[in-house]
Structure 1
Amino acid sequence: MTDPRPVIAAIRDGRGLDGPGAALIAQGLADGSVSDAQAGAFAMAVLTKGVGPAGRVSLTRAMRDSGQVLQWDLSGPVVDKHSTGGIGDTVSLVLAPLLAARGVFVPMVSGRGLGHTGGTLDKLEAIPGFLCDQSQQDFTRIVRQIGCAIVSATGDVAPADKRLYAIRDESGTVESIDLITASILSKKLAAGLDALVLDVKAGSGAIMKKPDSAPRLARALVDTANGAGCVTSALITDMDQPLSRSAGNALEVQEAIRVLQGERGALRDLTLALAAECLRLAGQSTEGLEGTLDSGAAAEVFGRMVAAQGGPADLMERPGAHLAAAPVIHAVPTPTGRVARIDVTALGHAVVALGGGRVRAGDPVDPRVGLDRMAKLGDQVGPDQPLAYVHAADDTAAQVAVAAVQSAYHLGEEGQSGPLIRERITT
């Protein structure tokens, strides 16, 4: 069968998607034999009718196999973590070297920010000289030597997803659980993983905001990844407030470095929880994990990874000498009160408006700008304790951001954060 129309019609009529049909669509997306019109019709059929659990597995495998799938011969397990995106989420920069310091290999293929959430690659590119675009040979060499590398996907990784991702945006089918699942997992599983842990965000800063959407997505991801042969679990984590106190690329790198050097807080807590989950799935002991972080072993690995990917060899010793600072910094004033609610998505949009994120793919990013010392739920604020500090390129942008941050915070008599980890999803 080489005609995609019967496959599309079967989904449209509620008959699902089988392995050969998924392979036909994925290969056609990759080589161009499936037209844009057919790809849009496929995406709309999946959105409206769904393909079910078996169809999700078939589509994920087919999209994974549309390009290169890595194979490793290493002295330890190969694992990774994926987050659905949030504000102040710099877990990857701490987790990858922490796992590597435990003898676990982490070939992390990450993305850039789009919309209100930040991208891991944008954060790393705030480090002068850091190269996210690595050849396959260099990527495997760095993982083998250092234990971890964080890179962008090459054109050879899940090319079917790259094309379908753009089609989904243009055809209004981004929200499909089936297509989201296949998109996330096809790229991750192409890295040749032994185990995968998913961090699915829930709350006002999450991409999917309906109360049941995070558990539904987490269950779909876990079941599909396991069905495709990769041991996987998920943590549903809180995004009703920023994970860390910073949002903005260079500012988040600085916070990640502080956590690697011993700073306490929610970023550290979630990193340790996700790292422990990765170790359990890989059959490794979690004993002494905090000690690995506190000993400086993870910090040493991060410094070596940065140098191996083109960054400065002394970043950990002199981060302020290498990470660019914004020329304008303004406090965000507030009346006295307690933080009761935060529109976290609005904070993300404020960072984007400062130039720290993208409205469209390809937009330039200013690594210097963002927010730091952000108040969290339950914090007491007032004239001597601002809501946050705005880092901006100029006074005009700073004033706009100050107003946006003030609108995002709501004060009240009571403000209390919920649990950082809401639920664990396994097979």
Structure 2
Amino acid sequence: MDARTVIAALRRGEEPSGAALRWFAQGLASGAVSDAQAGAFAMGVCLRGLSEEARAALTLAMRDSGHVLRWNLPGPVLDKHSTGGVGDCVSLVLAPMLAACGVYVPMISGRGLGHTGGTLDKLEAIPSYDTAPSEARLRDVLREAGCAIVSASEGIAPADKRLYAIRDVSATVESLDLITASILSKKLAAGLEGLVLDVKVGSGAFMKTMEEARALARSLVGTANAAGCPTTALITDMDQPLADALGNALEVRCVMQVLTGGAGGPLLDLSVALGAELLASAGIEGGAARLRETVTSGAAAERFGRMVAGLGGPPDFVERWRDLLPAAPVVLDVPAPEAGHVAAMDGEALGLAVVHLGGGREVETDRVDPAVGLSDVLRLGQRVETGQPLARVHAASRAAAEAAAAAVTAAIRLGDAPDVAPLVRERIA
């Protein structure tokens, strides 16, 4: 068996066997498959698709391309995953909230894909935070803090690690089969006892329609449950950013405002909804109230601080986050060209504006500027007068700020007040 044979079969529309997919996953992990061949495979899957059986086989093959973790902890081991959106920093809010409820959360996360921000990129805005600790350190932090948000180590689903980066630069991010295999190979390798999935739908998501989102949610839930991990999914709205900021340090600021009790809104509400699903799956009642109490009591912020310190960040981050997070040298308001309500947003265009500022990657080797992005983004339905800010750009230069401001103006349509979709649109079990 060789890579060209597998790719040629895909090109002809033939279903790859389980053995072929296992070989290819091992080849991704070992280097026997080149980057060019991995890109061709990803494009073949994107164009031809996989059956449910082959999708599950690819997921398990990628999981088994490396080490599968096992735990012995005095509480349930649970996790959440989002399919990607803009202003979506739920992971940083939810993990410490769950930890404060007695849950253990070994959250293996990823970097930005396409127009969406990455959890690891956000955490690396925190000085000295180590997103790639040793397994021994991961276990220590998880036992001490109750949560650890890290990257997949070299030993965890190494096939996905290679394919994930190649998908970002080969226009194959949106494949339902590759998204399913990528998400679940890492999650299943983390040794979870329960999982909740946040499947985004709308202008800022990869899935633009409810039909697409349902298909992905069912694919993920079906594959995960077949693999023995109890899983549900919430389909949630991404017609506008979840937080009012896009960009790594700016989103961490939003997270800290929530965890320290200074803000609520959709970011907190969705974190509670997802967390309540997980707690219910573990037999813990009254989940929503318990999760909110972790914020008002300060317990969630304390857990976040423990995690940051345990992974090399400042031990006083919770107290000094305003001073410790990086700030861009240029800040520019984006004036509304006319009066009206915020009628619609192109969330993907907003996300790409942040990428072009340097807050994401246009090619795999790009370095991310943690300070740049957008803040104070208005929400759908808000009224604005001519000249009032639609958002605020944070940039490394005046020219970059002006280019981003033009992109934001084009991405936000003013008009009559719209009907705003509910935050949670549907539940898939």
State the TM-score bracket (shorter-chain normalisation).
over 0.9
Q: Match of 1:160? A: 159
Please say which of residues 202-211 and 238-247 is displaced more in the overlay: 202-211
TM-score w.r.t. length of structure 1? 0.93
- Residues 173 and 242 of structure 1: is their aligned pair in 2 closer, same or farther, counting only changes over 3 Å? closer
Number of corresponding residues: 425
Q: Match of 1:284? A: 284
The answer to whether residue 360 in structure 2 is matched with residue 361 in structure 1 is no
Instruction: Report Cα offsets for 1:302-335 as digits up to 9, x if no partner.
Output: 0111111111122211212111222222211112
Within-5 A mapping of 1:336-375: 336-375=339-378
Partner Cα separation in structure 2 for residue 210 and residue 329 of structure 1: 34
Partner Cα separation in structure 2 for residue 51 and residue 204 of structure 1: 26
Q: Match of 2:64? A: 65
Within-5 A mapping of 1:23-172: 23-34=22-33, 39=38, 42-43=41-42, 45-165=44-164, 168=167
- Residues 169 and 284 of structure 1: is their aligned pair in 2 closer, same or farther, counting only changes over 3 Å? same
Partner Cα separation in structure 1 for residue 315 and residue 387 of structure 2: 39
Q: Match of 1:248? A: 247
Asked if the contact 2:349/2:411 (under 8 Å) is kept, the reply is yes
TM-superposed CA distance for 1:82, in Å, is 0.9
Q: Match of 2:326? A: 324
TM-superposed CA distance for 1:360, in Å, is 1.4
Q: Match of 1:380? A: 383
In structure 2, the residue corresponding to 1:23 is in which secondary structure? helix
Partner Cα separation in structure 1 for residue 344 and residue 46 of structure 2: 33
In structure 2, the residue corresponding to 1:245 is in which secondary structure? coil
Q: Which runs of 5+ in 2 are unaligned?
A: none
Match of residue 297, structure 2, among 295, 298, 321: 295
Asked if the contact 1:110/1:150 (under 8 Å) is kept, the reply is yes
The answer to whether residue 298 in structure 2 is matched with residue 311 in structure 1 is no
TM-superposed CA distance for 1:50, in Å, is 3.4
TM-superposed CA distance for 1:90, in Å, is 0.8
The answer to whether residue 21 in structure 2 is matched with residue 22 in structure 1 is yes
- Residues 410 and 187 of structure 1: is their aligned pair in 2 closer, same or farther, counting only changes over 3 Å? same
Asked if the contact 2:101/2:290 (under 8 Å) is kept, the reply is no
In structure 1, the residue corresponding to 2:302 is in which secondary structure? helix
Superposition CA RMSD, Å = 2.2
- Residues 185 and 50 of structure 1: is their aligned pair in 2 closer, same or farther, counting only changes over 3 Å? same
Q: Match of 1:394? A: 397
Partner Cα separation in structure 2 for residue 301 and residue 44 of structure 1: 41
Counterpart AA for 2:71: W
TM-score w.r.t. length of structure 2? 0.92
Counterpart AA for 1:308: G
In structure 1, the residue corresponding to 2:413 is in which secondary structure? strand
Q: Match of 1:193? A: 192
Partner Cα separation in structure 2 for residue 94 and residue 130 of structure 1: 16
Identity of aligned residues (%): 61
- Residues 127 and 169 of structure 1: is their aligned pair in 2 closer, same or farther, counting only changes over 3 Å? closer
- Residues 143 and 392 of structure 1: is their aligned pair in 2 closer, same or farther, counting only changes over 3 Å? same
Asked if the contact 2:201/2:213 (under 8 Å) is kept, the reply is yes
